[in-house]
Structure 1
Amino acid sequence: MESRITELEIKISYAEDMIDELNHTIFRQQQQIEMLISQMRTLREQMQTSQPNEALSLRDELPPHY
């Protein structure tokens, strides 16, 4: 009986360690997602301010070989 309890305690300890590691991974990923969202907003704002408001026709653009 004592060995079964010890075995369960060891398994619980490993499970707790794994849960802590997964929580840390999720936290880091959430930070990265938030950073990427912020960068996308910045890029979107830059593109909107740098492009003219009028739509360009494809005929106005030169082909790549010119």
Structure 2
Amino acid sequence: MPSPNDIDPAIDKRLTDLEVKASFSEDLVDHLNDLVARQQEQIDLLIREVGKLKDRAPDTGGGAARDPREDVPPHY
């Protein structure tokens, strides 16, 4: 078995570069995983909020279209 001193310097540098890249990739994956988890929590919260708003919204009788000409302008 070759000793650490017998390793070709070019191969040693490539191996070191790969280890650094792997370390950065692992850190990035951890960061993105945390980000996705936080986004999922926000999505869940928004889904609950939309559900509450639907419960509070008046029923329009099956979604019948309103005539916009009957709406009172906001300045009245």
**What is the TM-score of this pair, normalised by structure 2?**
0.66
Residue of structure 2 in register with 1:39 after alignment: 49
Whole-angstrom CA distance in 1 between matches of 2:22 and 2:73: 65
Sequence identity percentage: 39
Whole-angstrom CA distance in 2 between matches of 1:46 and 1:31: 23
Aligned length: 62
Whole-angstrom CA distance in 1 between matches of 2:46 and 2:17: 43
Q: Which runs of 5+ in 2 are unaligned?
A: 1-10
Structure 1 stretches of 4+ moved >2 Å: 55-59, 61-66
Whole-angstrom CA distance in 1 between matches of 2:24 and 2:74: 59
- How far off is 1:47 after superposition? 1.0
Whole-angstrom CA distance in 2 between matches of 1:3 and 1:52: 70
Q: Which runs of 5+ in 1 are unaligned?
A: none
Pick the structure with greater CA Rg. 2
Q: Which amino acid aligns with 2:40?
A: Q
Residues 65 and 10 of structure 1: CA distance in aligned 2, closer, same or farther (over 3 Å): closer
Cα RMSD over matched residues? Answer: 2.2
Residue of structure 2 in register with 1:8 after alignment: 18
